[in-house]
Amino acid sequence: MTAAEISLCKLLIQSDSAVGPDTAITPAPSIPWDPVIQAARLHGLDAVLYQHIVQAGLRDEVPEKPFEQLHHAAQVNAAHNLVFLWEAGSIFKALQAAKIPVMVLKGLYLLEHVYRDVSLRSMSDLDILLRKADIPKALPILEALGYQPTTYFDSHDENIDIKHVPPLLKGDDLYLELHWALLEENEPFSIDTHGLWERAVPAHIAGIDVLALSLEDLVLHLCLHLAYQHHLQLGLRGLYDIALVLGQQLAEVNWEAVTQRAKAWRAERVAALTFRLLELYFDTPIPEVVYEHLLSKPIPDEIFDQAREKLLSRKRDTFAATPDLVQLATTRGLWSRIKLIASRIFLPRKVIARLYAANPRSPKIYRYYFVRFVELWRAYFQTAWRSLFNRRSVLAGTENMQAAVQLKHWLGGESMIG
Res 368 pLDDT > 90: no
More confident call, 290 vs 388: 290
The pLDDT of residue 405? 75
> What's 74-213's CATH class?
alpha beta
The pLDDT of residue 161? 81
State the Cα angle at 134 between 132 and 137, rounded to 5°. 135
Mean pLDDT of 153-161: 81
Residue 66's nearest CA partner among 89, 40, 90 is: 40
The pLDDT of residue 358? 83
**Structure confidence by residue, pLDDT tens digits, 245-272:** 999 999 999 999 999 999 999 999 999 9
Q: How far, in Å, CA of 95 to CA of 142, rounded?
A: 8
Residues 6 or more apart whose CB falls under 8 angstroms from that of 261 comprise 216, 217, 220
Q: How far, in Å, CA of 207 to CA of 239, rounded?
A: 28
Instruction: Write phi, then psi, for 407 (nearest 5 degrees).
Output: -65, -45
What confidence category does residue 38 fall into, taking pLDDT thresholds of 50, 70 and 90?
very high
**Structure confidence by residue, pLDDT tens digits, 319-349:** 444 555 555 555 666 677 677 677 777 888 8
Mean pLDDT of the chain, nearest integer: 85
The pLDDT of residue 400? 61
The domain segmentation of the chain, as residue ranges, is: 3-62, 74-213, 215-317, 323-397
Res 301 pLDDT > 90: yes
Q: How far, in Å, CA of 121 to CA of 305, rounded?
A: 28
First-to-last alpha carbon distance for the chain, in angstroms, is 25
Indicate the pairing of strand 148-149 with strand 126-129: unpaired
Residue 53's nearest CA partner among 73, 23, 33 is: 33
The pLDDT of residue 402? 66
**Structure confidence by residue, pLDDT tens digits, 77-122:** 999 999 999 999 999 999 999 999 999 999 999 999 999 999 999 9
281 DSSP β-pair partners = none
Instruction: Give the DSSP per-residue string, 231-296.
Output: TTTTHHHHHHHHHHHHHHHGGG--HHHHHHHHHHHT-HHHHHHHHHHHHHHH-----HHHHHHH-S
CA-based Rg of the chain, rounded to a whole angstrom?
Answer: 23
CA distances from 153 to 87, 127, 136, 148, 229 (A): 23, 17, 11, 11, 21
If one counts every other C-beta atom within 10 angstroms of the C-beta of residue 20, the result is: 14
**Structure confidence by residue, pLDDT tens digits, 174-231:** 999 999 999 988 889 999 999 999 999 999 999 999 999 999 999 999 999 999 999 8
Res 273 pLDDT > 90: yes
Q: Name the pTM for this structure.
A: 0.84
Indicate the pairing of strand 168-170 with strand 148-149: antiparallel
